[in-house]
Structure 1
Amino acid sequence: MSSVEGSTLTREETDLEAEFSTLQHVQRPYQVVVWNDPVNLMSYVAWVFRSYFGHSRQRAHQLMMQVHEQGRAVVATGTREQVERHVTAMHHFGLQATLEEA
């Protein structure tokens, strides 16, 4: 690329190329948001949080109550790809979930 002899890139283009490459490697954090719904039992929602995310019984209960009382809860964070997988899994469990930037 720019380090090869005879390159036609200017110093400014080389700096911009390096900066863009660095930005591509920076992973912004995302979060899984589970929303309240009138369909699923609270015990089922807590069970999903325990079985899928590995939350303790107490933490799963806290998150389930947050979903129930506040309408939503952030149940996990990670890279966009990880969070997309988690959201899809929540949909397969029948829960309403979305992703958002943390």
Structure 2
Amino acid sequence: TLSTWCKARISTPSLRPLRPFAVASKAPVMMVSGGGGAVLEKKPEILVAPQGTPEQTPGKPYHVLLFNDPVNTKEYVCQVLCEIFGHSKSKAYNIMQAAHSSGFAVCNTTDKEEADLQCAKLGEKNLMSRVVEAD
């Protein structure tokens, strides 16, 4: 009956711990005594850096592409290319002309971070650009 089952449940000791979320730590514990009583503290973990110098692996190269721009003048595009990439006027003109004739041209090839920065600068100057991974 129900009452017998309840009595059996009450008299049976629980198998659950008193604090169900308490987890025993496997870290060594040491006693620290001060002016009052003893205090338990965990031994601090010491992380050791690996020996030797890590090799710097060069990142993958990325292209900064400039797209044909029917809005801005050719002179303005060349000026921006000289300003952002440090190209000579003749190189900037060749890049601008390649973008004009084929739809896009590679302005620079560099690492991802620098390519993203240069692409953002081109965008600030109202030029259409994109970063793509070099083959």
Shorter-chain TM-score range: 0.7 to 0.9
What is the aligned-residue identity percentage? 33
Alignment match, 1:51: 83
Match of 2:74 among 39, 42, 46: 42
Displacement of 1:25 after TM fit?
3.5
Between structure 1 and structure 2, the one with the greater Rg is 2
Say yes or no: does 1:70 pair with 2:106. Answer: no
Task: Output the TM-score relative to the length of structure 2.
Answer: 0.56
2:4 equivalent in structure 1: none
Post-superposition, which runs of at least 4 consecutive aligned residues in structure 1 deviate over 4 A? none
Match for residue 133 of structure 2? 101
Task: Give the paired residue count.
Answer: 81
Q: Unaligned stretches of 5+ in structure 2?
A: 1-53
RMSD of aligned Cα (Å): 1.6
Give 1:71 deviation, angstroms: 0.8
Aligned twin of 1:60: 92
Alignment correspondent of 1:89: 121
Structure with the bigger percentage of helix: 1
Partner residue, 1:79: 111
